[in-house]
Amino acid sequence: MLDTVRVKRLHPDALLPEYQSVGAACFDLHTIHADHIAANGATIFRTGLAFEVPEGHVMLVFSRSGHGFKAGVRLSNCVGVIDSDYRGEVMVKLTSDGGALHVNAGDRIAQAMIVPVPHVQLQWADELADSLRGHGGMGSTG
């Protein structure tokens, strides 16, 4: 079980991420500056933080559900992947698919979780094992 992840403050206004409830799967990331996302536009927000993601793990960054439901705002790349060997600042690019949104310094802009990542060996194969789904594409299971 992973207990501690080291976080480096790169800016004096950076806030240490926190889980907002006992059952929360993700901790929240905050921005260090105010900015505006124009309707159908995109803006990059700085967190002022760098993470020491443990080897064999990855930090996944997701949109906040409230942004999507209330403002039509999402993470520009849908899911951010912070590898264990990255030590730079974590930044979040938010895109509006609808209206404009003003973000204040200190606001929660995304959520993240750290999960184990198995490394697998990939190899070429002439055939693959059969499965119940087979070649069925998108929508083939109902």
CA atoms of 66 and 109, how far apart (whole Å): 10
DSSP 3-state assignment of 130? Answer: coil
Q: What is the pLDDT of residues 16-28, one digit of tens each?
A: 999 999 999 999 9
pLDDT at 99 over 90: no
Answer yes or no: is 43 within a domain.
Answer: yes
d(CA 53, CA 37): 29
Element (H, E) at 66: helix 65-66
34 found inside a domain: yes
pLDDT at 133: 83
In a domain, 142, yes or no: no
133 part of a folded domain:
no
Q: What is the mean pLDDT of the chain?
A: 93
32 lies in some domain: yes
| pLDDT tens-digit series, residues 35-82 | 999 999 999 999 999 999 999 999 999 999 888 888 889 999 999 999
Residue 101 inside a domain? The answer is yes
Domain count, the chain: 1
Q: What domain range includes position 11? A: 6-116
Q: Is residue 92 part of a domain?
A: yes
Quick one: tokens of 58?
């990855």
Report yes or no on 135 lying in a domain.
Answer: no
CATH number at residue 83: 2.70.40.10
Structure tokens at 108: 């929660």
